[in-house]
Structure 1
Amino acid sequence: MDTNGTHIVSLERLLAVWNEWEIRMLVLTSLALQVFLLFFAGIRKRNVSAVLSLLLWLAYLLADSIAIYALGYLSQARVPKGVDAQSFMLTHRIQALWAPFLLLHLGGQDTITAFSIEDNELWKRHLLSLLSQVALAAYVFSKSRPGADILAPSLLMFLSGIVKYGERTWALKCASMDNLRSSMVTTPDPGPNYAKFMEEYRFTREAGLQAEIVIEQERRADVIAAVDIAEESVPYTTVITDAGRFFVIFRRLFVNLILSFQERTRSQATFLRLTPEQEYKIIEIELSLMYDTLHSKAAVIHTWYGRLFRCLTLLSTSTACLLFNVLDKGKYQSYNRIDVCITNMLFGGALCLEAYAIGVMIISYWTYAALQGCNCQSLSNLVFRSIKYFRPQSRPKWSNLMAQHNFISFCVLDKPTMFAKALSLLGLKRHWDSWLYIRHVQVSPELKILVFRELKDKTVSIVDAESYRKFSNHRGQWALQCKGYYKELGWSVEVEFDESILLWHIATDLCFHSDDLKDDIKIAQYVEISRAVSNYMLFLLVARPFMLTAGIGQIRYGDTCAEAKNFFERGMNVVTQPDDKAAARMLLDVNAEIAPKDVKGDRSKSVLFDACRLAKSLLELQPHRRWRVIRVVWVEMLCYAASKCRSNFHAKQLSSGGELLTIVWFLMAHLGVGEQYRIEAGHARAKLIIEKN
């Protein structure tokens, strides 16, 4: 028996089976990817899972690649050797019907058009792809010489595919930063006619009349006395309505456009009267709407023409399915049954995806806001009941998590192993550390309320444009001055911001490991909030440096880590493998009377023992006072970082579960604290007063 010959025959048979099933597997895989993207893409705005993000990224890239490859495969189909030409043409004819389905898949799902905000800037590339792929699909279809039984369903599916692909391209264009900014820029306002007014003034004076120009400034709303406003809880309908109303205004922050003092006053009037929980809920909905604008088809489908196109694609797909299955049943004898079955799967998948997408579109905040604007009370009530069931008020609209990275824990646990050295050589050490040493915790309601109270206190002190800009530049100074410790501790917040973060982070940990506060519940809550914000700010410094002000934070962090590891290794003779508490005690035992810079010079940017000096100063205070100071300093640093982070980086984090920093940034804007309000006065009303002699 010829074993080699048997193997060759088996290989040829396997290759023939693969050639027969290749296009079938491609179109089914394309459909499966669309199902996955539809159901899971929207989850990422409230999920920080790196695994989910990786899977969505792969699905997003593969979905287009596989669909384009499948279209190319269909265009290259030729009659294989030994295959009946008529049989092949029948097979190719029904498989050519899959070309418009691939166009439909290239149009993507409503829940995701762009994986990252940078994808929106490539809308011109997608427009070129739209033209080329439509032409290729038309070529595939014409090459198959379709019969009357295939022609009508194919044309209807071509209509659906072109509309869906066009929707995606238009959504990408609308979400690009240039187009977003252009759509939000207000109508040019030349102001009062100065030349005409001065000409009238000159003519009046030349006529010998006594004329005087009186300037009446536009009346500004009085500063809201935040302390006198009673907080009240409002219905969920009001929360959604306010979120939709403010979203139209405050989305301008993402494209670096300014707001007026009238908009500040209106926002304050609403936010200072609500409970903190509902204020944060409004912000969550606003940011959810912004995510939809940047990463989905929301900006297109929630328009009159978008809804019309959605009805058109559903109707054309349903009609095509009906024509294919009901009006001509002879195809089951003419065509390969497997191909007919796959075609029906494509029809079923397209209809199910379309129906699900329409359902999601109906029970959205966009639809509710549109119905409210049209005064369709009965329909808006029905939509609201659906929203209340599927998107209850209690469910966060973002991950509601904050990342945590601890300096002492990292330095104690991170060892120079061979594996770590190999990762460093490959440039993967930072990613490994992020996975191993960074965790996430819930953002506690107590922290949210504390941030709001601190910002509300600042709002009371704001009386003019200069004061709200001044408060946004404080990063611990105001807190220390209010508590009366600026003279002793002010040096720690007057250095560069990244240095302040490192100093206060290490000092907070040293104070934590020195105190035994299990019996004092109130101080324990202060400690929990302080450490959570401290670890979060260090995470930003290490893993999200682009969200902080420019500096040498990573260099300073690396030098401080190196000094800490050397110090702990030297102490290993006394304590074997110290835990965090023992490591903190070792640091506090060091005599730091003289400034480290005076001893070591400035070659290393380490702040390890400067932090020890700060911790010892804090430990001289009573525990209750100490943790109140630490807590408010961290909250002020958090607010400072939020106000200084560039808007495009805030936008970038919306697709990664959201960021606490972005929530605080939007809260500051709504409360009128920050640098977003540049229009400080309206039009001056000049009057020409003419006195008759």
Structure 2
Amino acid sequence: MVSSINPIPTSVKKLWERWNLRSFILLSLTLQTILILGAPFRKRAPNMAIIFIIWSSYLLADWAANFAIGLISNSQGNARGTGDNNEDLLAFWAPFLLLHLGGPDTITAFALEDNTLWLRHFLGLIFQVIAAIYVFIQSFPTNKLWPSTILLFLAGTIKYAERTRGLYLASLDNFKESMLKKPDPGPNYAKLMEEYSSKKEAKLPTHIELTAERSKESRTVTYVAEPGDMENDIAMVRHAYHFYKIFRGLIVDLIFSFHERFESRAFFQEREAKDAFRLIAIELNFVYEALFTKAVVVHSMRGCIFRAISFTAVSIALGFFYKLEKHDYHKFDVGITYTLLFGALGLDSIALFMLIFSDWTVAALTKSWQKSFVATILKKYLSFKRPSWSENTSCLDWIRQILFRRWYESISTFNLIDYSLKEREKMFPNIFDYPGIAYIKIIDLLGLKDLRDKMKYRHSTPLTRALWEFIFKELQSKSMLADDPETAKRICSARGDWVLQDSDWNSTEHSTFLRYIVEVDYDQSILLWHIATEFCYNMEWSDGDGDGCKISKALSDYMLYLLVMQPTLTSSVAGIGQIRFRDTCAEAKKFFSRRELGSGRSGGDEQQQEACQRILEVNTEVEPVAVKGDRSKSVLFDACILAKKLMDLKEKKWELMSKVWVELLSYTAGHCRANDHVQLLSKGGELVTFVWLLMAHFGIGEQFQINEGHARAKLIVGK
């Protein structure tokens, strides 16, 4: 006879049966609170800890609510496991979980791909509503809480339906469908040709005449900014919303008309750099909220009505429960019920506050409201969202950045020389170095080294006004030349060669540097110019105080960060960038490992300067490919040759490098996929996305149609 052994003690089972449901309901409410308060932070900082917390809460929220509904359904009728006369409360708790499945307004999708799962959520809505109805019917004959349960069931169904509709509208297919214009069959060709044939048969002199298209010169600007609009935060939101309605088509690769291009170019060419940045920041905020939140659903008339019904239903349910005699229920369960009720009202109140003080509400204000008390409050609130452009932030500005800023307001940087110096192997390691070596090998074996490098070597630097103004002026000047789509496409395709066409650069300089731009792959060009910029920056401190030097350094480190740590953003243009980067780092580590370098007590600057000097001392009269062949893709000493040629330009080199970096940045912005730009909006945003949208506003790109409208045909019959 085999004795049965129970691995789980009976006491543990009883504890689980009594507290499992209560724990999961409170966990579900906690996750909803984390999401509604924490989700906005992910668009303000690319902090991996914050993103991980939101990601895990997003995944656990649905699981916890679904699991709790299953527990309620399973526990129905089992009073022993849930407390005395607890069936009514079980039925009352079920609709709260529908509210939680509806999710907060601040996040419907963690990634763009989640929007494509709207059909799964629709089926989930049906089945979870059926489960809640089943629980309610089971308790209905003796349920004293049925009025409150019905009200909460209504509110929960509304919230879950809002989320499902939000996912449906944000899925890229439906997002594109909502922007398509009505089909245009053009002129009635068949009817015109019938008339033409009949006139010909009657032997009447007949011909077809086409009316000429309206020329570019005859077009007039139909959308202008009024004086003072750029200082009025409400007007700024209104202008940004106008262009959002047009340029959201970029996300789904729609083509814009010449009129839309002309209107946008005229508007942005008259703006200052700081005003253009604010407009684009607001515009991208509209894009983010349209694709990752419930904003489109709740900011409609129908959405406001349903939201009012939902809030009212929860409030009335709280009143009913408060007046109910509760002696038959366990005190702790009553406390949980009050927690759920006040939690639901609290979350709805936060959502209401965010709804009122959102850019969508401001954009919907009519001119009659813009001098009201409400507009005054909104202006004050919107003033906190302005970018500070300050490198030295005070405590109040730090709080503003955390709570109110629309995006990160900084750029991420990564430096190859710094990385290679810190990752190099010592020729004679001591006993204390071996744990670190073993640690690196273990995380490399687990495939976590890239994550570790991103956490350790990615740095942030504020986006300065000087840097943005330089980028803006470069693109603005090119926009002046982009009168026709062909020129606009050539400018968009330039990655440094357009700069060398300037008359300031002679033919020798043009041919010298052109081979490092267009005669190499794009990723190779980034690596070459990044290392060359680093050599020039570290070796010529006397020239390193100007804006050109700082701009070149910032863009150089930023572009390498995009190449190495955001491969999805540059995958369509980067080629074999990862292989070339690894080979270059390997050669740099090998070079540094065989030489004793200073300790670099001042933050590593002296050590980097010495490392750059050691590389530049190497004789490079013979091309590296002639010595090493092309098996290794390293470009370390090719960049050394480029740096020496740049140093020959003396003070002109920073002007050239800064302009080349802007073109490389513009090339990345214009050639990577639109949905990759949008995806990064949920992770703090990127400067390259701002440049992408600015280029579109300046009419620089390939998404503009050549002809506008169609010609009008007239049948001319002679006498």
TM-score, structure 1 normalization: 0.92
Choose 246-255 or 62-71, whichever is displaced more: 62-71
* Structure 1 Cα separation of the partners of residues 219 and 541 of structure 2: 42
> Within 5 A, what are the aligned runs for 1:133-144?
133-144=128-139
Partner of 1:403: 412
Choose 420-429 or 22-31, whichever is displaced more: 22-31
1:410 alignment partner AA: Y
2:386 equivalent among 394, 399, 405: 394
> Within 5 A, what are the aligned runs for 1:405-554?
405-416=414-425, 417-482=437-502, 483-484=504-505, 485-494=509-518, 495-517=520-542, 521=545, 523=546, 525-548=547-570, 549-554=573-578
Give the superposition deviation at 1:445.
1.1
Deviations 1:54-105 (A, max 9, x none): 111111111111111111111122777xx869x9451232133111101111
- SS of the aligned residue for 1:185 comes to coil
* Structure 1 Cα separation of the partners of residues 77 and 184 of structure 2: 67
Partner of 1:27: 25
Q: Check whether the contact 1:642–1:664 (CA below 8 A) recurs between aligned residues.
A: yes
For residues 272 and 398 of structure 1, do their structure 2 counterparts lie closer, same or farther at Cα, with a shift above 3 Å needed?
same
Residue 271 of structure 2 is aligned to residue 243 of structure 1: no
Q: Check whether the contact 1:259–1:679 (CA below 8 A) recurs between aligned residues.
A: no
Deviations 1:239-265 (A, max 9, x none): 111111111110000011111110001
Q: Check whether the contact 2:88–2:143 (CA below 8 A) recurs between aligned residues.
A: no
1:497 alignment partner AA: Y
Partner of 2:88: 93
* Structure 2 Cα separation of the partners of residues 379 and 463 of structure 1: 37
> Within 5 A, what are the aligned runs for 1:173-572?
173-222=168-217, 233-326=230-323, 328=324, 330-331=325-326, 333-372=327-366, 377-378=368-369, 381-392=372-383, 393-395=385-387, 396-416=405-425, 417-482=437-502, 483-484=504-505, 485-494=509-518, 495-517=520-542, 521=545, 523=546, 525-548=547-570, 549-572=573-596
Q: Check whether the contact 1:568–1:583 (CA below 8 A) recurs between aligned residues.
A: yes
Residue 709 of structure 2 is aligned to residue 682 of structure 1: yes
Give the superposition deviation at 1:690.
3.6
> Within 5 A, what are the aligned runs for 1:658-677?
658-677=685-704
Give the superposition deviation at 1:135.
1.6
Residue 63 of structure 2 is aligned to residue 65 of structure 1: yes
Deviations 1:394-428 (A, max 9, x none): 24421112110001000000145221111111111
Deviations 1:565-607 (A, max 9, x none): 11112223x7678821111001111111221112211111111
Partner of 2:390: none
For residues 224 and 189 of structure 1, do their structure 2 counterparts lie closer, same or farther at Cα, with a shift above 3 Å needed?
closer
Identity among equivalent pairs (%)? 41
Partner of 1:45: 43
* Structure 2 Cα separation of the partners of residues 432 and 307 of structure 1: 45
* Structure 2 Cα separation of the partners of residues 427 and 170 of structure 1: 38
* Structure 1 Cα separation of the partners of residues 659 and 247 of structure 2: 27
1:286 alignment partner AA: E
Partner of 1:3: none
For residues 382 and 190 of structure 1, do their structure 2 counterparts lie closer, same or farther at Cα, with a shift above 3 Å needed?
farther
Q: Check whether the contact 2:415–2:560 (CA below 8 A) recurs between aligned residues.
A: yes
Give the superposition deviation at 1:222.
2.7
* Structure 2 Cα separation of the partners of residues 352 and 607 of structure 1: 58
1:38 alignment partner AA: I
- SS of the aligned residue for 2:144 comes to helix
Deviations 1:485-506 (A, max 9, x none): 3211100001110000000000
Residue 641 of structure 2 is aligned to residue 613 of structure 1: yes
For residues 550 and 198 of structure 1, do their structure 2 counterparts lie closer, same or farther at Cα, with a shift above 3 Å needed?
farther
1:645 equivalent among 652, 660, 672: 672
* Structure 2 Cα separation of the partners of residues 320 and 189 of structure 1: 52
For residues 252 and 383 of structure 1, do their structure 2 counterparts lie closer, same or farther at Cα, with a shift above 3 Å needed?
farther
Give the superposition deviation at 1:196.
2.7
Choose 552-561 or 541-550, whichever is displaced more: 541-550
Partner of 1:127: 122
For residues 205 and 638 of structure 1, do their structure 2 counterparts lie closer, same or farther at Cα, with a shift above 3 Å needed?
same
* Structure 1 Cα separation of the partners of residues 617 and 316 of structure 2: 80
Unaligned runs of 5+ in 1: 1-7
Residue 657 of structure 2 is aligned to residue 635 of structure 1: no
For residues 230 and 14 of structure 1, do their structure 2 counterparts lie closer, same or farther at Cα, with a shift above 3 Å needed?
closer
- SS of the aligned residue for 2:37 comes to helix
Give the superposition deviation at 1:22.
2.6
TM-score, structure 2 normalization: 0.88
- Tell me the number of residue pairs that the alignment of Structure 1 and Structure 2 aligns: 668
> Within 5 A, what are the aligned runs for 1:155-174?
155-174=150-169
2:386 alignment partner AA: S
* Structure 1 Cα separation of the partners of residues 412 and 227 of structure 2: 31
Give the superposition deviation at 1:204.
3.4
* Structure 1 Cα separation of the partners of residues 421 and 227 of structure 2: 47
For residues 79 and 315 of structure 1, do their structure 2 counterparts lie closer, same or farther at Cα, with a shift above 3 Å needed?
closer
Residue 144 of structure 2 is aligned to residue 149 of structure 1: yes
* Structure 2 Cα separation of the partners of residues 343 and 40 of structure 1: 24
Choose 454-463 or 659-668, whichever is displaced more: 454-463
2:271 alignment partner AA: L
For residues 463 and 92 of structure 1, do their structure 2 counterparts lie closer, same or farther at Cα, with a shift above 3 Å needed?
same
Deviations 1:519-538 (A, max 9, x none): x74x2x21111111100110
Q: Check whether the contact 1:156–1:316 (CA below 8 A) recurs between aligned residues.
A: yes
Give the superposition deviation at 1:195.
3.0
Give the superposition deviation at 1:49.
1.1
- SS of the aligned residue for 1:440 comes to strand
* Structure 1 Cα separation of the partners of residues 353 and 23 of structure 2: 29
* Structure 1 Cα separation of the partners of residues 226 and 177 of structure 2: 39
Q: Check whether the contact 1:405–1:439 (CA below 8 A) recurs between aligned residues.
A: yes
* Structure 2 Cα separation of the partners of residues 620 and 231 of structure 1: 48
Give the superposition deviation at 1:636.
0.7
Q: Check whether the contact 2:234–2:362 (CA below 8 A) recurs between aligned residues.
A: no
* Structure 2 Cα separation of the partners of residues 152 and 539 of structure 1: 58
Give the superposition deviation at 1:144.
3.3
* Structure 1 Cα separation of the partners of residues 72 and 269 of structure 2: 62
Partner of 2:433: none
* Structure 1 Cα separation of the partners of residues 193 and 485 of structure 2: 30
* Structure 1 Cα separation of the partners of residues 242 and 459 of structure 2: 36
* Structure 1 Cα separation of the partners of residues 72 and 220 of structure 2: 70
Q: How big is the alpha-carbon RMSD for the aligned residues of Structure 1 and Structure 2?
A: 2.5
* Structure 2 Cα separation of the partners of residues 257 and 611 of structure 1: 40
* Structure 2 Cα separation of the partners of residues 79 and 219 of structure 1: 76
